[in-house]
Amino acid sequence: MAKQPKNAISPTRAENYPEWYQEVIKASDLSENSEVRGCMVIKPWGYNIWENMQRILDQMFKDTGHVNAYFPLFIPLSYFEKEAEHVDGFAKECAVVTHHRLEPNAQGGLEPAGKLEEPLVVRPTSEMIIGASYAKWVQSWRDLPILINQWANVVRWEMRTRMFLRTAEFLWQEGHTAHATEQEAREETNTMLDVYADFAEEYLAIPVIKGEKPPHERFPGADVTLTIEAMMQDRKALQSGTSHFLGQNFSKAMGIKFQDENSIEQYAWTTSWGVSTRLIGGLIMAHSDDDGLVLPPKIAPKQIVILPIFKNDADREKVLDWCKKLEKELRAITWNDRRLEVLIDKSDIRGKNWVHIKKGVPIRLEVGPRDIANDSVFMGRRDKGAKEKQSITKDEFIKSVPSILEDIQSGLLEKAKQFQRENTRKIDSWEEFESYFTPKNKNQPEIHGGFALCHWHDDPIVEEKLKAIKVTMRCIPLDTEAEEGICIFTGKPSKKRVIFAKAY
């Protein structure tokens, strides 16, 4: 019997996908659990990925006319009570501050003291606190639009947590805008969804479906919630960004009013939109393999790592000098509007090649005395797997590195698109739908199916059926053409197919 090749990550994706996910995070040194339940420490490699996301998105926001500001972490409880749907949607996830100091107790410990007159909610989202500011800033139609984004942390007291995907505290950006007309606000909602979709595909190499959430899945207090949905390698969906048309609901709750051009008092039309560190979880699950993380070059902290190989001190100095010159030449190259990020790993640890394989560095260059003699490098591409390497002259590599990086980036996107296509199916009966997501007997492992495109009629009975098999309606695709059909759940007429999937 042939010996099975060993992988760096155990278990593999096929053996236990959730555990594989956690092991990739550990092996790539992205983050770790903290001493606070449900919270994580984002380590330098993971935070560098988030910084790259911030940098790119921040410029995309500014290119569409937005500016950054910052608003308080603490929100008076009374603000939440002003918008009924909003408080209902977040009540179970709120962390609440009730005291403002600690005092010694009789047992020699500390206990809360100085009870606040009004409890403060630790920011789960900022519509209300930002709305309070906008109400002060807006008097006339000339004060609109307000186009603001903030980079912040939020707290949602999740009971079941998983690093990056669902944590009690996470990092995100949240845009909040106010407009004089409904049309302007709706256009803003669509524009920002397009920004998120472009970012996901161009930089993260993750294909997404743009769609509208059904009424029961909307952001609490929104009139419309738009979403981008991505397919992970276990065929589950990941909601990767949302953009909300809030109508005048929050303006009425917080008093954001203005005099229009005819001196008539009007309520502003508002939007909000955001993405979070959940995108790092999406990167892991969309591209990584059984040897660790695989990163698209446009988002990777380093595009290239140079690995000096030597056996003695005499070789060491010669090899390191050569590598430093190579590093300087590579850093002078501009790709994706930035200079290349290059690392020389000077450590003497055994297996340092595998360290960078597991961290997902797009290109690895091994350089030893023999390579220097041939004026060449030994190149490994992370998208080609851990084992495949080739010798290439230094000059040829320097000349071709931009095209190699572009090939890696586009190849990862095409691979993910192909996976999504192969795992998306039109389904026209409840029986086929159920078998797509449910194992034939209880002893079989859970089936995730993929994306099911089905006719649907909005009816409470649909949710009951879906809940029983752990499937959710992900979105009504924006680019789907009208198509007459019959809802597979209710037998009622339907005019469009929508997407169903199991999800994170």
- Positive/negative CA dihedral, 111, 116, 121, 123: negative
- pLDDT at res. 313: 84
- For residue 4, pLDDT over 60 is answered with no
Rounded to two decimals, what is the model's pTM?
Answer: 0.96
Mean pLDDT (whole number) for 268-282: 98
Q: Distances in Å between the alpha carbon of 201 and those of 86, 174, 411? A: 31, 20, 12
State the pLDDT at residue 447. 84
Element (H, E) at 209: strand 208-212
Q: Which two tokens stand for residue 351?
A: 């297996």
Which segment of 248-257, 259-268, 396-405, 459-468 scores lowest on mean pLDDT?
459-468
Query: Residue 310 CA to chain centroid, in angstroms?
Result: 40
Residue 288: what pLDDT? 98
The confidence score (pLDDT) of residue 439 equals 87
Taking the C-alpha atoms of residue 419 and residue 287, their distance in angstroms, rounded to an integer, is 11
- Burial track 279-314 (b if 16+ CB lie within 10 A, e otherwise): bbbbbbbbbbbbbbbbbbbbbbbbbbbbbbbbeeee
Cα–Cα distance measured from residue 469 to residue 476, given in angstroms and rounded to the nearest whole number: 20
Please give the helix or strand (H or E) that residue 76 lies within, else none. Answer: strand 74-76
Q: How many CA atoms, within 13 angstroms, populate the side-chain half-sphere of residue 486? A: 6
Is the sign of the CA dihedral 448, 454, 459, 465 positive or negative? negative
Contacts of 431 (CB under 8 A, 6+ apart): none
Which one is predicted more confidently, 493 or 439? 493
Number of H helices, E strands in the chain: 14, 27
| Residue 81 confidence (pLDDT) | 85
Alpha helices in 217-302 (DSSP H): 249-254, 278-287
Label residue 353 exposed, middle or buried (CB < 10 Å: 0-12, 13-18, 19+).
middle
- Asked whether the predicted pLDDT for residue 58 surpasses 70, the reply is yes
Phi, psi of 366 (to 5 degrees): -95, 135
What mean pLDDT do residues 165-178 have? 97
* Contact call for residues 179 and 269 (beta carbons, < 8 A): yes
- In percent, how much of the chain has pLDDT > 90? 89
CB atoms closer than 10 angstroms to residue 396: 12
Domain ranges, ordered by start, for the chain? 17-78+123-287, 304-408, 424-501
| Residue 6 tokens, joined | 């060993």
pLDDT above 50 for 2: no
Query: What residue type is 257 in one-letter code?
Result: K
Contacts of 201 (CB under 8 A, 6+ apart): 207, 208, 413
Q: What is the pLDDT of residue 5?
A: 57
Condensed to tens digits (0 to 9), the pLDDT of residues 175-193 reads 999 999 999 999 999 999 9
pLDDT mean over 457-472: 92
Contact by Cβ (8 Å): 451, 424? yes
Give DSSP secondary structure letters for 386-402. Answer: SS-EEEEEHHHHHHHHH
Peptide bond into 493 cis (omega under 30): no
The mean pLDDT value for 395-412 works out to 98
Residue type, 119: P
Model pLDDT for residues 73-105, shown as the tens digit of each residue: 999 999 988 876 777 778 889 999 999 999 999
The Cα–Cα gap between 412 and 52 comes to: 18
Task: Please answer whether residues 24 and 292 qualify as being in contact, where contact means their C-beta atoms are separated by less than 8 angstroms.
Answer: yes
> The domain 304-408 is classified under which CATH number: 3.40.50.800, 3.10.180.10, 3.20.140.10, 3.40.50.200?
3.40.50.800
Residues 172 and 166 sit within 8 Å (Cβ to Cβ): no
Tell me how many degrees the CA angle 25-26-31 measures, rounded to the nearest 5.
65
Query: What pLDDT score was predicted for residue 446?
Result: 81
DSSP 278: H
Task: Domain 424-501: give its CATH architecture.
Answer: 2-Layer Sandwich (3.30)
- Write the pLDDT tens digit of every residue in 379-389: 999 999 888 89
Buried b (16+ CB within 10 A) or exposed e, 127-139: bbbbbbbbbeebe
Indicate the fold that domain 17-78+123-287 takes in CATH.
BirA Bifunctional Protein; domain 2 (3.30.930)
- Residue 322: phi and psi, rounded to 5, are -65, -40
Q: What is the pLDDT of residue 445?
A: 76
Query: In the numeric block, which tokens belong to residue 123?
Result: 């920011």
Whole-number percent of the chain with pLDDT over 70: 99
Amino acid at 77: L
For the stretch 207-250, pLDDT in tens is: 999 999 999 899 999 999 999 999 999 999 999 999 999 999 99
The number of C-alpha atoms within 13 Å of 149 and in the hemisphere containing its C-beta is: 22
